[in-house]
Amino acid sequence: MDRRQFIKSGSLGLAAGFVGQTNAFAAGHGERRIYNAVKWTMIKNDLPVLDKFKMSKDVGFDGASLMAPGWFEVKEVLRAIDKTELPVHNVNDANHWKVRLSDPDPTVRKQAKQDLRDTIQFASDVGADSILLVVGKVTDPVHENHDQVWERSTAIIKDTLPLAARLGVRILLENVGNDFCLTPDQWNKYIDQFESPWVGAFFDIGNHHSRGGAAEWLRAIGPRIVKLDVKGHSTERRKNCDIFDGDVPWERIRKEIDRIQFTGWATAEVSGGGEARLRQVVQRMNKALGIG
């Protein structure tokens, strides 16, 4: 069994148990810990895919989060994984903001559904056990309001769940910057309605800190959280920022992460750059989350 098959088989077993965290990489190593990953858009050097994988591993990342559809050739990614042994743990739906599941236009929603399916397929092809999806956006009170975002996105996600289950890829939902489910109770209700181990939360620490405190959201959402995005946030400036540059209470964050016994992947989502910058991100991220 190669690395990609190992990752997929582990994720299937964990999801079948409906545990809050899916991470075959951690499970295979027999320990509870956090693994750090780089978001692909942070790697700014104009380099081939393989060289970006090599750099990501050299600076200290355990894995990578990619984008789809239309960003990569599967064979090129698989070659990079095999050469570097750096796994792809997640794939972001690259189009979910503009081509939304909640769009008033049925033609756009149909394309959004296809993009979702294509992202899941690509994730499966490269050995990732999850995709990140923003479910929609509240844009106006008549054509794309909160209830409509809920109804439209729910229908498409439910219709896509058989594919996700067949391929062993979890659909992890994010609710930031879209004026949807602005309280933990609403968000929990939205996630729980699917009653599926293939749906969970992708929790963004910086973004949720702007909504009343990341630690409070962590406590409320709890075991629904499968993976983390990691950045800082400045309440004073009302802006996301580098880790430690804002007022996120990282000690409290670590306590809440420990309380829910989180095991799995945490992906950096801050300003990127070349090798020196990425090393700095790894160091800050490891310190913030207590990795090491």
pLDDT the model gives residue 20: 37
pLDDT the model gives residue 210: 86
Whether residue 244 contacts residue 280, with contact meaning beta carbons closer than 8 Å, is answered with no
Give the residue with greater pLDDT, 53 vs 7: 53
Q: Which of 81, 61, 68 is nearest to 267 (CA)?
A: 61
**3-289, which class in CATH?**
alpha beta
Q: How far apart are CA 152 and CA 136, in angstroms?
A: 9
The full set of domain ranges for the chain reads: 3-289
pLDDT greater than 90 at residue 103: yes
pTM score above 0.85? yes
pLDDT the model gives residue 203: 96
Run of H or E residues at 108: helix 106-125
Whether residue 289 contacts residue 264, with contact meaning beta carbons closer than 8 Å, is answered with no
Mean pLDDT of 216-231: 96
* pLDDT tens-digit readout, 260-284: 999 999 999 999 999 999 999 999 9
Structure tokens at 151: 């109804």
Q: Which of 129, 130, 127, 147 is nearest to 138 (CA)?
A: 147
pLDDT greater than 90 at residue 164: yes
Q: Which of 187, 57, 68, 71 is nearest to 128 (CA)?
A: 68
Chain position carrying tokens 């509240």? 138
Query: Helices 250-259 and 275-289, interaxial angle, to 10°?
Result: 60
